[in-house]
Amino acid sequence: MLSPALCELTTTDDLRALARASLTRCGVDIDALAGAGSSTITARTPITGEDLFDFPAADAADVERAVDAAHEAYLRWRTVPAPVRGGLIKRLGELLAEHKADVAHLIGIEVGKISAEALGEVQEMIDICDFAVGLSRQLGGRTMPSERPGHRLMETWHPMGVVGVISAFNFPAAVWSWNLAIAIVCGDTVVWKPSQLTTLTAAACSALFDRAAREVGAPENLNITVPASGADSQALIDSRKVPLISATGSERMGAEVAPRIAARFGRAILELGGNNAAIVAPSADLDLATRGIVFSAAGTAGQRCTTLRRVIVHEDIAEELISRILKAYSGLPIGDPMSESTLVGPLINAGAFADMSAALEQARAEGGTVLIGGQRREGPAGAFYAEPAVVRMPRQSDIVRAETFAPILYVMTYATLAEAIEIHNDVPQGLSSAIFTLDQREAEQFIAADGSDCGLANVNIGTSGAEIGGAFGGEKTTGGGRESGSDSWKAYMRRATNTINYSAELPLAQGVSFS
Ligand code: UN1
């Protein structure tokens, strides 16, 4: 069933022209690229659901060559002093600031993000560049007291090699930059396999990086982007020349690649599913909670890994909170993400809407009541604008425990905080979480060891929209990886423990005598 028609959308021709101009300004000649190479990926926009350009795809041999070239580049890059490596990321940050609107347009066109969020994604890239530049002067190790006289015990951190970055469509630029900026200052090099849905954004980002590298006189091939299919990027997963894979995507993808990386003793940073919840306690500021919930649940059309998917509300305030959420949802402007007034853009494709519809069907079968949303807005055949849905669930159920990458918010009630935390943690995923409360005891309990089991646990803000300064990632089927800020850089380097004897004796550790 189709609900109200969409307002007029930007035409595919206009989107194509905007994409071409943005790409050109970032240094990508799309007309020269179109038609090059034997196999192609077709760039498309979810805004109208139509195709934009044919883009040359990388095949398995290209991926292997990229790994070899990035490995060669690493052998040189690892000896460049870290603060000099930081100079490259400084320049990249400046170029991203200069081309903020261009990259944001491409994100908007390929992902369907509204412009405020697309610009926010580029800001997140600029922020991580700043962070990495500072970090380039702080990659320090510790010195520990040695138990032996005349000895020094310390650790040094060294570059590791090629980092394989596999990114998803929903953050087509920022996730690459979290990995790239840190990897590059750590002395690593990168082979990037972007989502096939976002090849234009990837091309623009890599061109800006290449330009920054040329301008600062850095070697070539520090980042090589391979717009390859999953099947053609197997070399990235299996190559011993790629000591670290940082992969963002579904739990299914993670379950497939993790054992293969482990089998060759590679390292993995996995950022997989999220099934993020917010507990709303009786003392909550309901106005603030409603705004936090609506942004996290309906923003980005429910397509963030940090999207709020479950609300666990105290039974005394449930009716009041639900009526506030429904009021906000009924006024959500859904439509063309290129229009300033829109807050909810399209889903990425038909599959996403099919998943959403199937999940709502299952929720009903499991006792849920759809309070609002779930319909598709009338529009072009290939574009899927869904009304964000709120579903009241009598209890946690199979569908509530699964991540559906669409704007569905399940609402459940609780009586005691212990019960709320139990419901909260009773899902396979462990990425992001929140509590809305003005009671300090409850807030502290939520973030304590026996509180939220997620990698991100917030108080009085929603589950999405994390800053880059903290480590980003989650537990359980989310995969356990940490990217971005804090000391996440340690995953991108290898640690050597050094014991230095500056005495003329050879005392053995643990008092062992061997003479
Ligand atoms: C993602 O959805 O893969 O915290 C990343 C956030 C953003 C990153 C989301 N900073 O919502």
pLDDT at 139 over 90: yes
The percentage of residues in the chain with a pLDDT greater than 70, rounded to a whole number, is 99
Q: DSSP readout, 373-419? A: --PEEE--TT---BPPEEEE-SS--HHHHS--SSSEEEEEEESSHHH
How much is the pLDDT for 5? 84
Alpha carbon of 428 to ligand 1 centroid (Å): 19
How much is the pLDDT for 91? 98
Residue nearest to atom 3 of ligand 1 (CA): 305
Alpha carbon of 467 to ligand 1 centroid (Å): 9
pLDDT at 56 over 80: yes
How much is the pLDDT for 141? 96
pLDDT tens digit sequence for 170-183: 999 999 999 999 99
276-468: CATH architecture = 3-Layer(aba) Sandwich (3.40)
Q: Which of 121, 124, 251, 271 is catalytic?
A: 271
The rounded mean pLDDT for the chain is 97
Ligand 1, atom nearest to 168 Cα: 3
How much is the pLDDT for 117? 98
Whether 271 is a known active-site residue: answer: yes
60-272+479-496: CATH architecture = 3-Layer(aba) Sandwich (3.40)
Give the pLDDT band of residue 2 (cuts 50, 70, 90): low
pLDDT tens digit sequence for 63-104: 999 999 999 999 999 999 999 999 999 999 999 999 999 999
Distances (CA, A) of 59 to 27, 37, 202, 235: 23, 10, 17, 10
Mean pLDDT of the 310-324 span: 98
Residue nearest to atom 6 of ligand 1 (CA): 465
Strand partners, 54: 42
Which residues does a 6 A CB cutoff place in the pocket of ligand 1?
124, 170-171, 175, 248, 304-306, 464-466
Listed in order, strand segments (DSSP E) in 260-375 are: 267-271, 276-280, 308-314, 369-372
Domain spans, the chain: 60-272+479-496, 276-468
Mutate to test the pocket of ligand 1, among 178, 197, 270, 304 (most ligand atoms within 8 A of CB): 304
Alpha carbon of 234 to ligand 1 centroid (Å): 26
Alpha carbon of 271 to ligand 1 centroid (Å): 10
Ligand 1, atom nearest to 306 Cα: 11
Alpha carbon of 491 to ligand 1 centroid (Å): 19
Ligand 1, atom nearest to 432 Cα: 4
How much is the pLDDT for 34? 77
Put simply, whether the predicted model's pTM sits higher than 0.95 gets the answer: yes
pLDDT at 32 over 90: no
